[in-house]
């Protein structure tokens, strides 16, 4: 039986701002523009206690909470934390499908068998790892298929863990309002209710199937099956759009002690290398982030001549970037990232026939192919490097 986790970061944009600035923790916060037409993108759980929610006009949110904190959208921060979140989850299982910037499906079927661990215990470990490493909270749904896992993760927030299975899904899922069913949009739900389909249990009732088909059309059978706990879709790792493997840390105290900073760099580079190797990923670019304060940071990147994941190369490159760009002021945060990552199995190195340092076995292979073509077809082919050497010898004689 499949064991699928749906892992959902709670109030992600707001939580990301709190992770980046601890002074925001526990305060009513929204992510929004700050003009008269602005709407709330994300509201922290503290803000939600005032009745504030996403898509609410900002002026209404201000009326509900006089001490509301408003932060603009910071996509660079969100993308960085999102990437680190997926990287962390992927260290548990490579069978990961990214659903959006703040959620993913993970197939833990083999992991649970191999480690002989209860799914709930594993979910708790992952929650704590995400919280301790990234300062982000997440809810986790556990189920035998993706649909039920997605529904389960929404049932307890923040930091909830819910298990849905064949024995309890009718009790937990069917009483929910039809608008809460994943796959039914805001425009469709009122139409279903007009036809008397009020709950997910009503969607699961075959007596309502013809009504469902009138509204939903060709997807009626799919929703009917999902409401009955049936979903055959697999975790699609091809949707894993991970483009970098990175790690950053906020220092316990701001410091400009170079030995402390170098030691932190070594730890970060070791983690990046470990995570990349565990997922069989290689990259051809290294970047570092140096943050001096909440408002002053530097990010620098340099390309590599080849795809790598070795600790020594990552460390030496990161150290080079740091030494070149560090101003000497006390640091608040430092990060290292291996970018443009691909799976090693899909890497095809381009071999140059002009390369004097080409491995001997590759030279022999090239020569063997050329000799075979010449003998079978009476041609007189040769390599570009041989022509180049011949030309050089000619000039030496002259």
Beta bridge partners, 162, equal 141
> Residues 87, 97, 103, 263: which is the catalytic one?
103
DSSP string, 197-251: --BHHHHH-GGGHHHHHHHHGGGHHHHHHHHTT---PPP-GGG----EEEEEEEE
> Where is 76: in which H helix or E strand?
helix 75-90
283: left (phi over 0), alpha (psi -120 to 50) or beta: beta
Under a CB-based contact definition with an 8 Å cutoff, are residues 118 and 104 in contact?
Answer: no
Cα→Cα distances 345→17, 57, 170, 278, 349, Å: 37, 49, 43, 13, 11
> Where is 354: in which H helix or E strand?
none
Q: How far apart are the first and last CA of the chain?
A: 77
Under a CB-based contact definition with an 8 Å cutoff, are residues 69 and 21 in contact?
Answer: no
Active-site residue flag, 114 = no
Task: Write out the catalytic residue numbers.
Answer: 103
């Amino acid at each position: 039986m499949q064991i699928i986790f749906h892992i959902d970061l709670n109030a992600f944009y707001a939580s990301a701002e709190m992770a980046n600035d601890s002074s925001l923790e526990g305060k009513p916060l929204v992510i929004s523009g700050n003009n008269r037409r602005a709407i709330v993108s994300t509201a922290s759980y503290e803000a939600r206690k005032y009745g504030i929610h996403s898509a609410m006009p900002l002026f209404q949110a201000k009326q509900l909470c006089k001490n509301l904190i408003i932060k603009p959208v910071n996509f660079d921060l969100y993308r960085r934390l999102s990437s680190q979140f997926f990287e962390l989850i992927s260290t548990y299982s490579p069978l990961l499908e990214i659903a959006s910037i703040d959620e993913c499906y993970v197939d833990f079927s083999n992991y649970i068998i191999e480690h002989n661990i209860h799914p709930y215990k594993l979910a708790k470990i992952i929650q704590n790892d995400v919280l301790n490493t990234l300062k982000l909270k997440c809810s986790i749904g556990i189920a035998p298929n993706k649909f039920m896992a997605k529904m389960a993760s929404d049932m307890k927030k923040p930091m909830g863990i819910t298990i849905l299975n064949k024995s309890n899904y009718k009790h937990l899922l069917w009483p929910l309002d039809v608008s809460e069913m994943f796959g039914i949009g805001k425009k469709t739900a009122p139409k279903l209710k007009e036809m008397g389909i009020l709950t997910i249990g009503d969607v699961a009732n075959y007596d309502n199937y013809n009504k469902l088909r009138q509204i939903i059309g060709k997807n009626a059978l799919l929703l009917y099956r999902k409401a009955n706990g049936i979903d055959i879709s697999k975790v699609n790792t091809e949707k894993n759009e991970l483009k970098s493997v990175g790690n950053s840390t906020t220092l316990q105290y701001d410091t400009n002690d170079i030995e402390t900073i170098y030691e932190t760099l070594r730890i970060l580079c070791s983690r990046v290398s470990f995570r990349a190797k565990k997922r069989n990923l290689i990259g051809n670019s290294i970047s570092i982030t140096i943050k001096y304060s909440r408002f002053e940071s530097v990010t620098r990147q340099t390309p590599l001549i080849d795809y790598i994941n070795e600790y020594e190369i990552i460390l030496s490159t990161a150290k080079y970037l740091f030494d070149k760009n560090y101003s000497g002021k006390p640091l608040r945060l430092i990060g290292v990232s291996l970018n443009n990552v691909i799976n090693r199995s899909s890497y095809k190195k381009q071999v140059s026939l002009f390369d004097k340092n080409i491995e001997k076995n590759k030279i022999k292979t090239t020569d063997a192919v050329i000799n075979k073509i010449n003998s079978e077809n009476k041609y007189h082919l040769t390599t570009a490097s041989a022509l180049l050497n011949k030309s050089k010898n000619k000039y030496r004689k002259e």
